[in-house]
Chain A
Amino acid sequence: MIVAKPKPFPFLTEQLRPYRKVAVVGCETCVAVCLAGGEREVRRLAQALELERRVRGGVELLTLPLTVKRQCEYEYLEPLRETLKGVEAAVSLGCGVGVQYLAAAFPELWVVPGLDTLMAGGPTALGVWEEYCRLCGECLLHLTGGICPLTRCAKGLLNGPCGGASEGRCEVNPEVPCAWILIYERLRRFGKEELLRHLTPPKNWQLAQGRGPRKLVREEVRG
């Protein structure tokens, strides 16, 4: 999933200072699961923003707490059209995609990001999230036993290890295990160590960062 974290509260109060009617728009998908932008976070933020305005003074702030199934699809944003009439600004608690969809769907609405979108990853313990995929565009996990060296090796080596690991920990960041040792151990468990002799040629990074935003078209499902 997409992992994001809340922006500092004072940043949001500053951004919203000029407005009196503000929507706080959450998303029930990734950011809800990573406890950053779901319904609960929306209600909490809306309440806190109103309180801050009341304590500091200035024009009264009215917030509208709203949560949609997925902020990254127009069909889920469309039903907000009536509700958002007369609303001047919105804080989006969606990921960066959600923020942009919200802004594009409502051209009259000033949209502020409420989260910092960090990575494609998952929870590894309660309150801990880690990155697992760099979205490179051509997955090679079949060569590495389901452990991504681009993401989990600090040097992103395609043909590791670098040789610097000590006691199984990465030499760059001893907090994480050496990805290539994990890869080796897993390949050995499956009797596939031979795969380590396979030399992976340089990656085609055009698939990740070619000319501007990437675009995917699948004719077989195209409308």
Chain B
Amino acid sequence: MKEFEPIIVAFCCHYCAYAAADLAGSLRLEYPPGIRIVEVPCSGRVEEELILKAFAEGADGVLVAGCLEGDCHFQKGNIRARKRVEHLRQLLKEIGLEPERLAMYHLSSAMGRRFAEIAWEMAEKVAGLGPSPLRRRTREG
């Protein structure tokens, strides 16, 4: 049987994580193939509904990556995103999904290596949890 490869939607801020992912690519750093990067203008743009939608469409995990604290181009977008993610993890539990399927990270555009690390970390954590129950159902029908 083929090993389970989780699909992880990564909402990446244009000013940091997205550039860091780019850098990881230029550095020829390998990161897990199941990562699906979505560029956003700020991590604060990632509404709760958007995260839920990713799960609804079958994502096994979602990560939101924003700037380091104090570095947000929109002042507090990353702090808002962090709070929102924390709050949403509670809702995920109530929905019946493991809260660990959702995580928030902070990094800068120069941290290509860190981006790859984060991607592996998340992929391993989610692989441990197995496929999302929503994904299984999506596939069945």
Contact = CB atoms under 8 A, between A and B. Distances in A.
Interface in A26-57: 40, 43-44, 47-48, 50-52, 54-56
Q: What is the predominant secondary structure among interface residues of chain A facing chain B?
A: helix
B137 A54 contact: yes
B56 interface: yes
A9 interface: yes
A52 B134 contact: no
Among B47, B49, B133, chain A packs the most CB atoms within 10 A around the CB of B49
Contact of A10 (B48, B56, B94, B133): B94
B49 A40 contact: yes
A44 B55 contact: no
Interface residues of B, number: 15
Q: What is the predominant secondary structure among interface residues of chain B facing chain A?
A: helix
Interface residues of A, number: 14
B49 A52 contact: no
Contacts of A47: 49, 52-53, 56
B68 interface: no
A54 B53 CA distance: 13
Interface string B43-66: 000011100110110000000000
Contacts of A40: 47, 49
B96 A48 contact: no
B95 interface: yes
Contacts of A43: 49
Contacts of B91: 9, 48
B97 interface: yes
Given A9-B94, A54-B137, A44 B48 contact: yes
Which 5 residue pairs are nearest across A and B when measured between Cβ atoms? A55-B96, A47-B52, A52-B95, A9-B94, A44-B49
Interface of A: 9-10, 13, 40, 43-44, 47-48, 50-52, 54-56
28 contacts: A9-B91, A10-B94, A13-B94, A40-B47, A43-B49, A44-B48, A44-B49, A44-B52, A47-B52, A47-B53, A47-B56, A48-B95, A50-B56, A51-B55, A51-B56, A51-B97, A51-B134, A52-B94, A52-B95, A52-B96, A54-B56, A54-B133, A54-B137, A55-B95, A55-B96, A55-B97, A55-B133, A56-B96
